Amino acid sequence: MRSMLTVFRKELSDDFTSLRFLILFGLVLLAGIFSVYIAANTISSNTTTEVSSFATNSASQFIFLQLFTISSESLSASFLTFITLFVPIVGIALGFDAINSERNAGTLSRLLSQPVYRDDVINGKFLAGVSTIAIMLISIVLLVAGIGLRIIGVPPSAEEVIRLIAFLGLGIVYGAFWLSISMLFSVLVRRIATSALASIAIWIFFYFFISIIASSIAGRIAPISDSSTTTEQLKYLAVNVDIMRISPVYLFQEASSVILSPDSRTLSELIQIQAQGLQAWMMPSPLSVAQSIIMVWPQIVTLIALTVISFAISYVKFMREEIRST
């Protein structure tokens, strides 16, 4: 345990002083500030309109959370979108050379010749990576929330704070998943560039290509046209979403949008689309935090399971690996 903490301490210090992390941190922070600025302006203009309308929309009860989910009409890039995009990059950047760089530099055999168990090394590195992601996410959310608070002037309610904490937890698991994927490649592949490329390829596939593949497969399984019935459209959407759910990116998006939007009562896109049209006429009935979490519990558990499986493979491979001359 003590050795693991020693490895953890050193890795954490390395992460926070590495140029690559500082650049990414700055990038995420800038994107966060930008998105919250846009969101705050959008909220301000919407609130002015809503105040003059007859009903108190449910959305106005959770104005603070909207800072993280909404964007402007011209630019659809919310804080959540940026986090979904950048957290994998940070996770990959922290893990793609975790083991193979030590092996290539000859530090691994020197490290393992010290009185440490082999798993202390990989556990310490993973824990340091997760902590770095956690510290980064918490500080960015706090900074961005502070800026948003100053602009919109509405403090968060207790429920909003709880939802933000839940979102942070989810974000950390999401980052941990990408860290574990990149660490897996750093154990499997000797060349650092190859492990970085392999991790990025996985990210690109799940971020960009999965939606194309999903809609293409769904179109073959449950084809739709302009004259399709609602049942046919629902079937198409169900198949599409089922395929999309193999992507950790989609799982995170789905789970975090529900956690940050108490008004989300369903994960079905079609119902959400229809509900948006009726929203102004509906009685406000946001879900409680517990209900929202229960709704996305499968997504959360799947993300955790994927992280655990990926890390477990790295762990087993690293533990069974023969140390040769280097």
Partner 1 sequence: MPAVIEIKDLTKTYDNITAVNKLNLEIGESEIFGFLGPNGAGKTTAILMLLGLTEPTSGTVSICGFNATREPLQVKRITGYVPEKVGFYEDLTVHYNLLYTAWLNNIPEQQIEDRIKTALKTVGLPNAANRKVQQLSHGMKQRLAIADVLVKNPRIVILDEPTSGIDPEGVVQLLELIRKIAQEQGMTVILSSHQLPQVQRICTRVGILSKGKMIAEGPLDQLGRKAFGGSEFRVEVQVSEVTSIIIDAIKSISGVTSTEALGKDIIVNCERDLRPQIAKAVIDNNGQLIQMKIQSYSLEDIYLKYSGEV
Among 27, 33, 85, 112, binds partner 1 (CB under 8 A): 112
Instruction: Measure the CA–CA gap between 66 and 78, rounded to whole angstroms.
Output: 9
- Asked if 105 interacts with partner 1 (CB under 8 A), we say yes
- Asked if 324 interacts with partner 1 (CB under 8 A), we say yes
- Asked if 277 interacts with partner 1 (CB under 8 A), we say no
Return the structure tokens found at 224: 């739709």
Q: Residue type at 19?
A: L
Among 41, 44, 76, 114, binds partner 1 (CB under 8 A): 114
Q: What is the DSSP string of 215-236?
A: HHHHHHHS---TT--HHHHHHH
- Asked if 10 interacts with partner 1 (CB under 8 A), we say yes
Return the structure tokens found at 34: 């930008």
Q: Residue type at 227?
A: S
Closer to partner 1 by Cβ: residue 206 or 318: 318
- Asked if 110 interacts with partner 1 (CB under 8 A), we say yes
- Asked if 119 interacts with partner 1 (CB under 8 A), we say no
> Tokens 């290509």 map to which residue?
209
Return the structure tokens found at 6: 């020693």
Closer to partner 1 by Cβ: residue 112 or 313: 112
Closer to partner 1 by Cβ: residue 8 or 86: 8
The span of 28-36, 52-60, 179-187, 317-325 binding partner 1 (CB under 8 A) equals 317-325
Say if residues 196 and 107 touch (Cβ distance below 8 Å).
no
Say if residues 170 and 304 touch (Cβ distance below 8 Å).
no
The span of 115-123, 133-141, 275-283, 284-292 binding partner 1 (CB under 8 A) equals 115-123
Among 44, 45, 109, 288, binds partner 1 (CB under 8 A): 109
The distance in angstroms from the start CA to the end CA of the chain is 25
Return the structure tokens found at 231: 């049942």
Which residues are CB-contacts of 37 (< 8 A; sequence separation ≥ 6)?
147, 151
Say if residues 198 and 189 touch (Cβ distance below 8 Å).
yes
For residue 22, which of 121, 108, 90, 124 has the smallest C-alpha distance?
90
Least gap, CB of 15 to partner 1 (angstroms): 13
Q: How many residues lie near partner 1 (CB under 8 A)?
A: 26
Closer to partner 1 by Cβ: residue 105 or 309: 105
- Asked if 1 interacts with partner 1 (CB under 8 A), we say no
- Asked if 127 interacts with partner 1 (CB under 8 A), we say no
Chain Cα centroid distance, residue 147: 22
Closer to partner 1 by Cβ: residue 1 or 212: 1
Among 106, 146, 155, 223, binds partner 1 (CB under 8 A): 106
Among 49, 73, 115, 212, binds partner 1 (CB under 8 A): 115
- Asked if 322 interacts with partner 1 (CB under 8 A), we say yes
In this structure, the dihedral spanned by the alpha carbons of residues 318, 322, 325 and 326, taken in order and rounded to 10 degrees, is -10
Site residues (vs partner 1, CB under 8 A): 2-3, 6-7, 9-10, 14, 102, 105-117, 322-326
